[in-house]
Amino acid sequence: MKNSKIVVVLGAAFLMGVLPSLAVSQDKATAQEVFAKVKEAANALSKTGDLAQFNQKQSPWVWKDTYIFVEDCDKNVMAAHPLKPELVGQDSLSIKDTRGKSVLPQGWCDAAKKPSGVWIEYWWAKPGEKEGSRKLTYLLNAKGTPYVIAAGIYDDQTSLAEVSQLSNKK
């Protein structure tokens, strides 16, 4: 009887440790989803010019553990951010990652204007967290606008070369 209680307690402890990580892994955006969503958002912004939709937490542009944000290449400022409204209007090059490095590298606007867009890497806190995690972000110009649409994945394993293959295939 005593042994069966120990087995039940150990089994419950194991499940309490494993199940939350399984649930979290199902809520992680993939590079393919980010690529598709950024293209969709760029098309929507090209047609409407409406930035407001990208400043809303409750929108199709916020999903799983990621979100769309928008940069203005003409003014070089953050144009829309659904989770950090305090970043809107800030100089894009002055925004630092959690390691103190500029999030956007020199030439990012020109790279994002290529038909394939560009993937970049930096360290950023996941929504709801304070510590930085490695983030791979895809940037693509919204045609006919000064805006670049972006979203990313938090991933310690995937290389920039691997995610770049997604955009090179179109």
pLDDT score at 13? 43
Taking 50 as the threshold, does the pLDDT of residue 118 lie above it? Answer: yes
Confidence of residue 167 (pLDDT cuts 50, 70, 90): confident
**What's this model's pTM, rounded to 2 decimal places?**
0.82
Tell me the mean pLDDT in the region 141-158.
96
What confidence tens digit (pLDDT) does each residue in 70-89 have?
999 999 999 999 999 999 99
Tens of pLDDT, residue by residue over 2-15, are 665 554 444 444 44
pLDDT of 113 over the 70 cut: yes
In order of their start, the domains of the chain are: 29-169 (3.30.450.20)
HEC per residue, the chain: CHHHHHHHHHHHHHHHHHHHHHHHHHCCCCHHHHHHHHHHHHHHHHHHCCCHHHHCCCCCCEECCEECEEEECCCCEEEECCCCHHHCCCEHHHCECCCCCECCCCCHHHHHCCCCCEEEEEEEECCCCCCEEEEEEEEEECCCCCEEEEEEEECCCCCHHHHHHHHHHC
